[in-house]
Amino acid sequence: MSRGFELTILMPCLNEAETLASCIAKVRGFLARSGIRGEVVIADNGSTDGSQMLAKSSGARVVDIAERGYGSALKGGIRAARSRNVIMGDSDDSYDFSDLGLFVEKLREGYQLVMGNRSPSISFPRW
């Protein structure tokens, strides 16, 4: 499955023009700072607000997902990924895409699943 990338950051999208560019910029900044060869994939589920064009102009690859629904967007995006490792997060700017280092660290150690939580009120032990 690996096609030259170590990491795919996948964002399902449905009319997220307001926040999409910020999310993509954070991912691209993280990849540049960390020296990781990665891609940003936007799994678009029928946006009508210009999200697709915005994503492309921000440096992401857009995959059109015809079957509606969040799960369909995730599945379609995973199938389109050009890497073995996929990090998924919403494109509404509710995740900190600028700090994915712990995810990458655990993936490199061989973990098959690494899960984060965006809620500061829930506490999980650190690795």
> Is 122 a member of any domain?
no
Angstrom distance (rounded) from CA 19 to CA 25: 10
> Is 121 a member of any domain?
no
CATH of the domain at 33: 3.90.550.10
> Is 115 a member of any domain?
no
pLDDT tens-digit series, residues 112-125 = 999 887 666 555 55
User: What is the total count of domains within the chain?
Assistant: 1
**Domain span at 22:** 5-108
> Is 40 a member of any domain?
yes
pLDDT tens-digit series, residues 11-55 = 999 999 999 999 999 999 999 999 999 999 999 999 999 999 999
> Is 61 a member of any domain?
yes
For residue 55, which of 87, 19, 3 has the smallest C-alpha distance?
19
> Is 33 a member of any domain?
yes
> Is 118 a member of any domain?
no
Strand segments, DSSP code E, in the chain are: 5-13, 38-44, 61-64, 83-88
> Is 18 a member of any domain?
yes
For the entire predicted model, the pTM comes to 0.89
